[in-house]
Structure 1
């Protein structure tokens, strides 16, 4: 910064930074308003040839460190290859036999990534981002709990580009390059160049959106289906005050919802003042299904460090909703542990809680009439054998509407809705 001219010069090798500037004098400590300055000099050229103006060179020895804030994960060593020394970007690259990771320290927020690939022989490279280490997916050799973006496909072009957006929550962007195994051919993991750009920060809007992250008990179903989720009914109670964006989908747990990129899609679009309702638990205990299973410790970690933190970072209001109960008048053992985990993490993170699980059970048990009368009402709320099977989990339209009503009543008590 030149104090005489007031010119701030940012060099190509500048590391990411955010700060505020204002002019000051000894006699007048503030003679101008604050100006926000964001520096993201994040253009990287991978390989061993000479560096390119405007790019930071990444060689096989450029390992990630807290000091530099960028580099290759040392657990996945890479090698360099030069194709054409005359081509500054496409002429060289880094590669690994199967996979490697590049990491970039970043302030939480949303970013756009452009990756360049220029070896047409490596025609089957996939890109994943933001690996979330949960117990079933911890490995230093394979990154299989990340969000898969796209796979590189060359046609007649000499190079290919992938452009995608990423929501960074934990302060470090992970980008995984994976060489796929196709018909017994192992393609190498490669990349020639990367550009990382911060997306504009979304601002508050006149009409807020209520996002829902959850499983099949909250999901949308077709109008003709006997089954319904509470998420598709909630708008009936909210009226025109909110737009409901229901991202809940069947068969998902807290971990698979992340891995599918569904939480990321919410975080890329959520704005200050929006709400995020979070309800998982029914599929997290599926120990025999690795793609779903999430133990209680990891469940609480994901809620606290990704769902809740990600929403709060973006100025939104997260609301933990405990899982709806199975058919009956009391909680089941496995599901009950996730209900307790959800309640515990809401308290620990000072996050709003709607205990839908116990609200629903209390409602069932306090219905008027005899126990038989109560059972008839509760039976009308669940699918049971109405679709030819034995489904003790999912709701009819009447049951989904009742769950939505219970949520709405709690939201009113919390002064979240009129």
Structure 2
């Protein structure tokens, strides 16, 4: 369900007007479709002609409890199931109606590449819950102000399997007892967009057990007000992100008042050559990002890279990032832009865990923990879902400490987080998605 080469060529040649963002109303269940809604039953698999339907091998069942035509029937499964809708670039408000008129339910909702939106929404017997979230949909085409396609992001081969470059919104319904009565999708023209530029520690990791803070933070913001647009990619540095035209794409869709969070360093520090270094090439590129964002009326926010998991004999974190975090701090001060010091907070967080408990936050698993994983995984850079979730809470803490206007748009149920007091691993809940890999992301 990706763009064919021919289709992209046609778009590049003749696309001159931005696609209109449509609205949809879907009634889930085999019987009695509600007036004004599109009926989605057990056999409603995605086709290009329809532009919507179940994807990724979803195996679903429909149940009808009678009564209300919208909430009296639902779709469910004992495995994660996926519903996709073809949509053009933009922000969308999504309303999901969950529950069972004669039973209980528990539903977690993610979008695109495992981007967390709603977690463990439970309904009591006979109760129905309406939940909302705002999601950003993107493609790789770069358009001018008239909507004409003028260029394209240079994607890596593995990105062809990602669910966030495929010109569709994909919604994952997961958890112990997901029951979906309806889905409504409406364009949102007014939400502030938080764009993310970064590497494998930021990207929406497409497969378990890998994860990043970038795919967790959408859950923390007020729906309708904020959309998170994650353009990060594994293995990227400031200069390669530029040369792949990822920043150009962001700038082409950025509105005044939107944000760009910038977190690089892990891959930049490995670059060698004349004039390359933390306070030379790296700092110069940071300044370029800041300047370009300000030209668009956007708000740049610098984020220092989190530490790698490396402890000394006394249980303290060893700095493996050289001068790169200090270069970010210095640039933020000189350019008078907000700084989220994730590097400092991650040190507190990791040391609170200690050498042993911190393993639970990274991709450390014995052989055969996951299908096709014949050797053990020992990655001290990349996080599992638990570690990524705790790092995301550090980002939210940084937003609050910087008194960014975004702080007022954090959900009221999100408590103040102290990195010295992380949630215990045993209390973290994450029903796994269907997609799993033993292949380590680019970068280290």
TM-score of the superposed pair, with normalisation by structure 2 = 0.44
User: Larger radius of gyration, structure 1 or 2?
Assistant: 1
TM-score of the superposed pair, with normalisation by structure 1 = 0.47
* Larger RCO (alpha carbons 8 Å, 6+ apart): 2
